[in-house]
Amino acid sequence: MDQDQLSTIIEYCLEKWCEHELPWCEFKKDFHSSEEIGQNISAISNVCRLMNKPHWYVVFWIDPKSHTPIWTKFDYKTQKWKWNEDLLPWLIRGLDKFSNFDFYEIEYGSENIRIILLCIESTVSKPVAFENTVFIRIDSYTKPIKWYDHLQSKLWEKILWESFDSDICLSNISDTKVMEVIDIKWYLQIMWYDLKDDNEWLEKLIQDGLLIFSWGLYSITNACGLLFARDLGVIDLKSKFPRVITYRWNNRLHAINDEKWVKWYALGFSWLINYVYSQIPNIEIIESERSSEPLYPKVALREFIANAIIHQDLRIKWVEVLIEIFDDRIEISNPWVPLIEIDRFFDHPPKSRNELLADFMRRSNHCEKRWSGIDRAMDSIRIQWLPNPKIEKNEDFTRVVIFRARSILKLTDKEKAESIYWHCVLVFVLENEAMTNESVCERFWIEPQNSANASRLIKLAKDEWKIKPFDPKSRSRKHAKYIPIWAE
């Protein structure tokens, strides 16, 4: 932070303290001990997470009662601790490598009295401990959190379930800097806001949860940066660019194109979909007249890519949404483990780690608002007579594979069972009907005289416990009806 930002923070703290005591700012008259500073950093960082505050400020060398600056000779840069070790590396080591805090110096007032400002950020991935003890603030006292079981549980709940998109990517900036970083024009256009005054759109950003105002300055959330930043590299989110690789043939040996998509999500999403579509060949259709048709339905690509972006685990660094285009398939991978079971994607209300990001992607019409995105994607694949996609869950990523047209009889037994299951789900969810031997023949282009093949496919899915008979008492195989194993 520069001197103007520091002055703004201190003046704001002093002004608000005159009106009422601020819970996120402290004034310290003197430096007591390095242990006290370490314990306070642990306690304050943890309580910031509990209170949903990005920062906490401790202002040294201002009298807590009179709020007047006090002259001091203390210098945190030269302060030594055990074995003549400097204060800062000693603190970081004692805090188990937590380093999201900074000391700042400012010459304040007409006499240019030196003031020290300690800015402590909220913890992100785990509670902050000092010398192996996790501390918390109880009123103005610093206490070990192990004495307060309910606070310990609440802190872990916040850390595990609070989404990355509501965290801060750029903090303590002026309104002018906000305009430089965020593309306000596109924000207003995409969200259909008719606002002219600067204060109006700043207030709207705050209301939408994209901007946080505190201490007279602004902080930009990760969701705001991902959606509307002019350059993701400026706000340290460049590892979140989707990547598109086009290969020659069916393996990864020969890449034709490798593109890193550098546009922010709200505007760049449509361009990303159009680029992916431009890399996919068309197939020639000859009926009454010659025409061409894309290999894959655009609805399916749009919904699966949107889901990959929205549901990715943004806390995993240097792993991006990856779209790989082969001659015989498209693979869409993202760093996340689904919060719901893959088999229940159709009928279960969606859960996202990034609710703020998901909300704006829906509001800007980039994905479905009615839980029907996967349904529409799978239905568009069915209409185009393509095999059902393969959805894989691995230890730290999820992959959707969309295939070119091929006979179901050429699939492995596991793939056949999965295909029958997804067909059964589609019929059950979208049409409120049960799957039959006839519907399987129609879906997978099996000739009526070969309906025995459909019966064998259905048996594979039953043996894998993917489907069950609609009427367990029925003995007919040809006229039997089936529903998903989870259906009631």
pLDDT, tens digit (0-9, with 9 covering 90-100), for 315-366? 776 778 899 999 889 999 988 777 677 767 766 666 667 777 777 777 777 6
SS3 content of the chain, % helix, strand, coil (to 5): 40, 25, 35
Q: Does domain 408-488 have CATH number 1.10.10?
A: yes
Assigned CATH topology for domain 241-406: Heat Shock Protein 90 (3.30.565)
Rounded CA-CA distance 288/23 in Å is 75
Using a pLDDT cut of 90, give the percent of the chain over it.
Answer: 10
Mean pLDDT of 213-238: 77
Residue 18: pLDDT over 80 = no
Assess whether pLDDT exceeds 50 at residue 67. yes
- Per the listing, tokens 């049409």 go with 431
| Torsion region of 398: left, alpha or beta (phi above 0 gives left; psi -120 to 50 gives alpha) | beta
Domain boundaries, the chain: 3-162, 171-236, 241-406, 408-488
Segment 154-164, tens digit of pLDDT = 888 777 666 67
pLDDT at 331: 94
Reply yes or no on whether the pLDDT at 167 is more than 90. no
What pLDDT does residue 19 have? 47
The pLDDT of residue 184 is above 90: no
Please give the C-alpha separations between residue 24 and each of 15, 51, 328, in angstroms, as whole numbers: 14, 10, 57
Q: Is the per-residue pLDDT at 246 higher than 90?
A: yes
pTM: 0.68
Fold of 3-162: 3.30.950
